[in-house]
Amino acid sequence: MDRKISLTGIKPTGNLHIGNYFGAIKPALELAGEYDARYFIADYHALNTMKDPAELSATIREVAAGWLACGLDPENVVFYRQSAVSEVFELATMLMAFTGKGLMNRAHAYKAALQENAEKGDDPDAGVNMGLFTYPVLMAADIILFDSDVVPVGKDQVQHIEMAQDIAQSVNYNYKQEVLKVPQAAVQEHVAVVPGLDGRKMSKSYGNTIPLFIPEKNLRKLIMRIVTNSQGVEEPKDPAASQIFLLYKLFASAEEQTALEERYREGGMGWGEAKEELFRVVNRELSPVRERFNAIVSDTQGLDRILAAGAEKARPIAAATVKRFRKAAGID
């Protein structure tokens, strides 16, 4: 029996960090064990905000290399650039004819832009391009094109899948047949929330990240900057209240966690020593990942061949969906 299909979109935002690693990359890669997994780099989506061509080109390759370094196996999954599959845009155009403007008006990103403009006293649509406004339709095309059964998302992204469902159902209702598969959201309830250097959620917007691929010396410097309280060396400390220990748990074995937790509670260990322990386990896991990334990203031609091979696998799937839609619409 064929396995169900999962689809994961990857934003080319660059500078992947530990929060991305545990919150997005590892959970997404685990899907390949259960699903026929497909992954794409959403480079056309990135045009909405990234207008510098050199920056976008470099970021696309860095993100692709990052996912490959973290364990994505292009031989066992379909891994491609959105821009390399022209059927995405043909399907998006067709879906536009079945998408109400009112639906787009309710999109979170568009509403957030309107609210920001209202707070600044600007025109409601100031700075809003049609890429932003129709973003959910292009995303629906990304999803529907590959007959996706499930799309793993966080709670804040469920609306995008609901919109894709609405659009696909509109098409199917109009033609009185299942032209398009209706996707389902696989909400990731238990994805790790990774603390940053200042204790808040790790995020580039907070400037508190630990990048995945920085050199060992720089990694140690960043870890040494983690904010702590004023407790002295001899004082017992609560591991549950320490972002150092919360990060440590992500990288350490169960035995290591138990041993360090006991040292926290007993006292006699300062924050500097706790940070050294954290650096040890982080660097242990990230060193081979860093080495793979540096090798992959430096081989531009090899990386481009991997993405081109993924697109070759993706296109026949995409073409079949478009052909099915065109036939139903009477324009085949």
Domain assignment present for residue 119? The answer is yes
The reply to whether 187 and 42 lie within a common domain is yes
* C-alpha separations of 224 from 140, 198, 220 in Å: 43, 12, 6
Task: State the average pLDDT over residues 252-270.
Answer: 95
The reply to whether 34 and 108 lie within a common domain is yes
The rounded percent of the chain whose pLDDT value lies above 90 is: 90
* Active-site residue, 204 included: yes
- Going by the DSSP 8-state scheme, the letter that residue 211 receives in this structure is B
Which of 4, 181, 201, 313 does the annotation list as catalytic?
201
The reply to whether 122 and 225 lie within a common domain is no
The reply to whether 37 and 152 lie within a common domain is yes
The CATH number linked to 229 is 1.10.240.10
Domain assignment present for residue 206? The answer is no
Query: What integer pLDDT is reported at residue 229 of this predicted model?
Result: 92
Task: State the average pLDDT over residues 250-262.
Answer: 96
Domain assignment present for residue 200? The answer is no
The reply to whether 83 and 97 lie within a common domain is yes
Query: What integer pLDDT is reported at residue 332 of this predicted model?
Result: 80
pLDDT tens-digit readout, 133-158:
999 999 999 999 999 999 998 887 89
Query: Residue 245 above 60 pLDDT?
Result: yes
pLDDT tens-digit readout, 68-107:
999 999 999 999 999 999 999 999 999 999 999 999 999 9
- Sequence-ordered strand ranges (E) for 103-209: 150-153, 184-187
Domain assignment present for residue 223? The answer is yes
Query: Residue 1 above 60 pLDDT?
Result: no
The reply to whether 56 and 93 lie within a common domain is yes
The reply to whether 22 and 148 lie within a common domain is yes
Q: How many CB atoms sit inside 10 A of residue 244's CB? A: 21
The reply to whether 168 and 23 lie within a common domain is yes
Locate 315 and state its tokens: 């296109």
Domain assignment present for residue 118? The answer is yes
* Active-site residue, 201 included: yes
The reply to whether 35 and 152 lie within a common domain is yes
Query: Residue 322 above 90 pLDDT?
Result: yes
Helix 243-251 and helix 254-266, axial crossing angle in degrees, nearest 10 = 160
Which of 120, 221, 323, 327 does the annotation list as catalytic?
120
The reply to whether 178 and 251 lie within a common domain is no
The reply to whether 187 and 259 lie within a common domain is no
- Sequence-ordered strand ranges (E) for the chain: 5-10, 36-41, 78-81, 150-153, 184-187
Task: State the average pLDDT over residues 185-213.
Answer: 88
Range of the domain at 135: 5-193+299-329
The CATH number linked to 120 is 3.40.50.620
Domain assignment present for residue 84? The answer is yes
* Active-site residue, 120 included: yes
Q: What is the mean pLDDT of the chain?
A: 94
The reply to whether 54 and 184 lie within a common domain is yes
Task: State the average pLDDT over residues 107-116.
Answer: 94
Which of 4, 181, 204, 313 does the annotation list as catalytic?
204
Q: Of 299, 314, 300, 298, which is closest to residue 79 (Cα–Cα)?
A: 314
The contacts of residue 247 (CB under 8 Å, 6+ apart) are: 18, 194, 195, 226, 278, 282
Domain assignment present for residue 203? The answer is no
Domain assignment present for residue 30? The answer is yes
Give how many domains the chain has, as a whole number.
2
